[in-house]
Amino acid sequence: MKLPEADAKRSIPADGFFRSRWVEAPAGIEELDPAVLAPGFRAGGAHCGLKGGGKTDVGLLVCDVCRERIERGGIRAAVVNSGNANAETGEQGIADAWAMCETAAAELELRPEQVAVAETGVIGVPMPIGDVLPAIGTAAGSLSGDGGGAFSQAIVTTDRWPKRCTLRAGGVTVSAQAKGAGMIEPNMATMLCFVQTDAVLADPAGELAAAVDASFHRITVDGQMSTNDTVLLQGTGAAGAPLPEGLLEAVLKQMAIEIVADGEGAARVGRIEVTGAASAAEAERVARAIANSPLVKTALYGRDPNWGRIAQAAGAALVGEDLEEIGAESIDATDLASEGKEAEIGLRLDRGEHRAHVWFSDLGYEYVRINAEYTT
């Protein structure tokens, strides 16, 4: 059930969804209650003990609009859980994931191959599938158009806050839910993001790939890879209008920066931009070396404009290259000392025309607390 407009707006945070200075959202966006999904979608959640404390840990998301092209084999629904990644669980793990799809499909009157499954949590622990399958039934019974909150709860693990939004612009609605806080590099992991819209998507795979390249592929928390990641974009086309130019990218960028800002124990987000590199790969390598340097990350945490640490990380990434000296004049690190939660760092090489940027979290006491006390 969609909330009346007035009620819907009440639960929007005062600072709005597009909080980051690095995200330029298209003009004329209206923010709605993020619990309310784009028209044509329903979601719900339940708990089965994977996370303990009665927390929602199983979720369902379904698209009720049956466009012909979706019927021809696309994903119609997603079944998710948090608290157990169902990774490194062998043949039984594959059977368990398939059982989740089959159960969800039966509840939703779909075929199992129309249901995506996405799971994050501890690795190497068998799924308590006997508890999970009944919870999928419970989640199915709770499906509603304003179930975005329950679905969002069902995907979070160590997240300190939910990442979600519902936006209206240009006659279409977009809703999105993401999770992620650790093991965030390279190439998305560990994170999940679900996007629903009633817009017409002319080239959904291409639009999504471009938006992911500009967002989830440009972040790091601790340089650690994951076994589990998914971004799912579903469009009904019912609104008869396309997504406003740049909206999908803006939503995913804000989500990506939220994930970094929530990076396990993070207090600040940095953005390093490397310019003047000899190749795109070199720009990327140098930017990631800086973004993943524990010395740079502690300087971001400690508000220390320590350009020497940036120089050493860059120099280490360029070992063997014929390199001009990287000195204070090549580096703009002053923003590290700023009061703000977002700090912009620039490194100018003199080797070519290529550039790359990466968003990264700081390294503070909370990172240690979370990761030293989290036990298998």
* Binding region for a second copy (CB under 8 A) out of 86-94, 102-110, 146-154, 162-170: 86-94
Question: Do 37 and 177 contact (CB within 8 A), yes or no?
Answer: no
Answer yes or no whether residue 183 interacts with a second copy by CB under 8 A.
yes
Q: Within 10 Å of residue 375's Cβ, how many Cβ atoms?
A: 5
C-alpha 355/C-alpha 376 separation (Å) is 40
| Radius of gyration in angstroms for the set of CA atoms belonging to the chain, rounded to a whole number | 21
82, 84, 179, 206 from 157: Cα distances, Å: 6, 9, 8, 30
C-alpha 40/C-alpha 61 separation (Å) is 11
Q: How near is the Cβ of 81 to a second copy at its closest, in Å? A: 17
Answer yes or no whether residue 316 interacts with a second copy by CB under 8 A.
yes
Answer yes or no whether residue 66 interacts with a second copy by CB under 8 A.
no
Q: How near is the Cβ of 205 to a second copy at its closest, in Å? A: 23
Q: Decide if 190 is catalytic.
A: yes
Answer yes or no whether residue 225 interacts with a second copy by CB under 8 A.
yes
Catalytic residue among 190, 197, 220, 236: 190
Answer yes or no whether residue 363 interacts with a second copy by CB under 8 A.
yes
How many residues does this entry show for the chain? 376
Member of 207, 222, 229, 282 binding a second copy (CB under 8 A): 222
C-alpha 201/C-alpha 203 separation (Å) is 6
> Any residues with CB less than 8 A from the CB of 298 and at least 6 apart, and which?
304, 362, 363, 364
Q: Which is nearer to a second copy, 102 or 304 (CB)?
A: 304
Answer yes or no whether residue 155 interacts with a second copy by CB under 8 A.
no
Identify which of 187, 48, 186, 175 has the alpha carbon closest to the alpha carbon of residue 121: 48
226-265 footprint of a second copy as x/- string (CB under 8 A): xx--------------------------------------
The string of DSSP codes covering 329-347 is GGEE-GGGGSSSSEEEEEE
Q: How near is the Cβ of 112 to a second copy at its closest, in Å? A: 24
Query: Residue with structure tokens 């923010």?
Result: 31
Q: Which is nearer to a second copy, 6 or 372 (CB)?
A: 372
> Any residues with CB less than 8 A from the CB of 272 and at least 6 apart, and which?
287, 290, 291, 310, 345, 346, 347, 357, 358, 360
Member of 47, 293, 342, 356 binding a second copy (CB under 8 A): 293
Member of 280, 294, 321, 353 binding a second copy (CB under 8 A): 294
C-alpha 343/C-alpha 333 separation (Å) is 9
Member of 55, 295, 341, 355 binding a second copy (CB under 8 A): 295
Answer yes or no whether residue 374 interacts with a second copy by CB under 8 A.
yes
Member of 315, 335, 346, 352 binding a second copy (CB under 8 A): 315
* Binding region for a second copy (CB under 8 A) out of 110-118, 151-159, 230-238, 366-374: 366-374
* Binding region for a second copy (CB under 8 A) out of 5-13, 67-75, 243-251, 296-304: 296-304
Q: Which is nearer to a second copy, 142 or 224 (CB)?
A: 224
Q: Which is nearer to a second copy, 254 or 306 (CB)?
A: 306
Identify which of 174, 156, 153, 374 has the alpha carbon closest to the alpha carbon of residue 254: 174
Member of 246, 302, 346, 352 binding a second copy (CB under 8 A): 302
C-alpha 11/C-alpha 261 separation (Å) is 21
**Binders of a second copy in range 114-143 (CB under 8 A):** 122-124
Angle between helices 307-317 and 294-301 (to 10 degrees): 160
Identify which of 182, 181, 234, 291 has the alpha carbon closest to the alpha carbon of residue 70: 234
Which residues are catalytic, by number? Answer: 190
The site for a second copy (CB under 8 A) is made up of 87-88, 90, 122-124, 182-183, 222-227, 293-295, 298-299, 301-302, 304-309, 311-313, 315-316, 319, 325-328, 363-365, 367-369, 371-376
